[in-house]
Every structure is written in structure tokens, then in C-alpha cells.
A and B are shown apart, each in its own frame.
Chain A
Amino acid sequence: GAVVSQHPSRVICKSGTSVKIECRSLDFQATTMFWYRQFPKKSLMLMATSNEGSKATYEQGVEKDKFLINHASLTLSTLTVTSAHPEDSSFYICSARVRAGARLYGYTFGSGTRLTVV
């Protein structure tokens, strides 16, 4: 259980266009999802936390207007990279918090999206 499906797995787009990445919880309701960015041979850096039905909370240094996050339902969060540029090329991973009652059980991760902006 607690599976998160992330699409697309790979995307190549032209500079200046926008790209949407979807993250769906398949068998549970994810009230909170997290979006990470990973540069080659680097760690996962948290970009933002999205809560269903409210505005996302962005980490310091992350441009809100560049990385639009929407969490309109309990099973879907989206990340839109707007006006993409080559420096936005990266590996993006979503994650959902999994609870067992009131306790934190853990986190489940999507399989990641490799974005290349040309």
C-alpha cells in the first residue's frame, strides 16, 4: 500500500515553455505532499510542501512564480515549471507523508521526473 505515482518519468521541453509534473497517491489520501529537486550527484533538496486545499509552503530561495504547486484534491499534487530554462533541468521527486492514525509512519516517494530543458 501507500503508492505514489509520478508522471512523466522523463520530459524534454524547449526553453520558455511550461511543464507540468503530476503526483498521485493511488491507494491512500495524501493531505500533504512534498516536492524535491535533485541535481546530479547531489542530495534531495526540499522545494515546497503542498497541503490539500491550501497554498503551498515554499522553502527559502525557491521561486513561487517559477514553480507552481497545486494540491486540489487528496490524491493529486502537481508541480508546474513555468517558462523553463536550461538551469531548471533536474530530477524532481514528489513524496507523500503516510500516517498510521495520528502517528507518522513514513514517507512514500514517486519514481521521479527527469526534466531536460533545451
Chain B
Amino acid sequence: AQKVTQAQTEISVVEKEDVTLDCVYETRDTTYYLFWYKQPPSGELVFLIRRNSFDEQNEISGRYSWNFQKSTSSFNFTITASQVVDSAVYFCALSEAGFGNEKLTFGTGTRLTIIP
């Protein structure tokens, strides 16, 4: 069975600091997809990134970067020079790629607060 663990329940940092959100996953499939979503107070889920299991390249998008390490089953997310607008709950999620329902399993989320 697939499982996603986000050990950090809440993190607070002062604006402009860098912050890394951890994500560790478990799956028996060799082909799978990993996602990060942002959930602001409005409740809507905002897609941030998708990564498939064959692509271990790290990715950078503006102030956001992701570090995918299959050896440690981790997919960590770093925000550089944090801003107040980054305050939200962040979810890491996993989907196994077998052709079927492809359920998305979410981690418990990390509540990030950026202090002005």
C-alpha cells in the first residue's frame, strides 16, 4: 500500500528565510508519480509540481525547488526567500501508475507560517 509521510506538522519562519518541507513516501510500484499542492486558507488546492519516478532531476521554479531522491524515498520542497504569501498548508501526494483508478494518497500536510 502507498503511504506519504510529512513529519513536520507546523513550521514558522521569518520572512526572507529559506524553508524546506520534508516528504517521505512508500510504494511497491516501480512507476509512480509524486506531487506537491498548496492549500491557502480559501481551501482550494493549488498544483505546484508533478514528478514521475523515472525523472530524478531536481527542479527549480522561481523561489521553489524540489529535491527528489529515490534512494531515500524522499521528495523535499524548498522555498527560498520566503514571503508572507507562502503561508499555507502544503501537501505531498503519491499516485501509483498502474492503469486503473490511480488513487492519489496525501500526506498529512505541513502548515507553513511566514512571519513578517
Q: Does B106 contact A (CB under 8 A)?
A: yes
- For this complex, 10 residue pairs linking A to B, each with C-beta atoms less than 8 Å apart, are A34-B103, A34-B104, A42-B109, A43-B91, A43-B106, A43-B109, A46-B105, A49-B103, A106-B50, A112-B43
B45 touches A93 (CB 8 A): yes
Q: Which of chain B's residues 48-93 have a Cβ closer than 8 Å to chain A?
A: 50, 91
Q: Does A15 contact B (CB under 8 A)?
A: no
Chain A residues lying within 8 Å of B102, measured Cβ to Cβ, are: 32, 97, 104
Q: Does A78 contact B (CB under 8 A)?
A: no
A109 touches B44 (CB 8 A): yes
Given A102-B99, A104-B97, A107-B35, the answer on whether A43 and B108 have CB atoms closer than 8 Å is yes
- Tell me, rounded to whole Å, the shortest Cβ–Cβ distance linking B105 to chain A: 8
Chain A residues lying within 8 Å of B107, measured Cβ to Cβ, are: 43
Size of the B side of the interface (Cβ < 8 Å), in residues, is 23
Chain B, Cβ-Cβ closest to A45? B106
Chain A residues lying within 8 Å of B99, measured Cβ to Cβ, are: 102
A38 to B109 CA separation, bound complex (whole angstroms): 12
Size of the A side of the interface (Cβ < 8 Å), in residues, is 25
Given A43-B109, A104-B97, A107-B35, the answer on whether A112 and B44 have CB atoms closer than 8 Å is yes
- Tell me, rounded to whole Å, the shortest Cβ–Cβ distance linking B107 to chain A: 7
B interface footprint on A7-42 (CB within 8 Å = 1, 0 otherwise): 000000000000000000000000010100010011
Q: Does B30 contact A (CB under 8 A)?
A: no
A108 to B95 CA separation, bound complex (whole angstroms): 13
Chain A residues lying within 8 Å of B106, measured Cβ to Cβ, are: 43-44
Chain A residues lying within 8 Å of B44, measured Cβ to Cβ, are: 109, 111-112
Chain B residues lying within 8 Å of A107, measured Cβ to Cβ, are: 35, 47, 95, 104
B interface footprint on A76-118 (CB within 8 Å = 1, 0 otherwise): 0000000000000001010101000010111111011010000
Of B33, B35, B43, B91, which one neighbours A91 at CB under 8 angstroms?
B43
- Tell me, rounded to whole Å, the shortest Cβ–Cβ distance linking A89 to chain B: 14
Chain A, Cβ-Cβ closest to B47? A106
